[in-house]
Amino acid sequence: MRNIKSYALVYDEDIQRQLQHIPLKHHSLIENEIKTQLTYQPNVTSKNRKSLRIPNILFATWELRTGNKNEYRIFYTINENLSEVQILAIGTKVKNALSIGGEEVIL
């Protein structure tokens, strides 16, 4: 049997503030997706998970999309040495506009 590596989830200190700009009813969806998608194999590309171009203002290397219309974005980086996924930002994307913590962001 193959042993799959587990990653600890580490949240940036600003995540709670960023979540205040997302409807409360969607917080559990976002939390479940983070746990389900990023605890094991966070560095595997999928339909809703992709590697990002570097550099970007968030210093994120990966993006996870979730929500009914993939309107929520979770930006993260992976520290292989510590077996950690560092959640750097959570935002909302509507059309071409990305908002993190209530402010429009351009990656």
Write the pLDDT tens digit of every residue in 37-91: 999 999 999 999 999 987 678 889 999 999 989 999 999 999 999 999 999 999 9
- Asked if residues 7 and 42 have their Cβ atoms less than 8 Å apart, the reply is yes
Write the pLDDT tens digit of every residue in 43-52: 999 999 999 9
Confidence class for position 33, pLDDT limits 50, 70, 90: very high
Q: pTM here?
A: 0.93
Q: What is the predicted pLDDT for the residue at 2?
A: 66
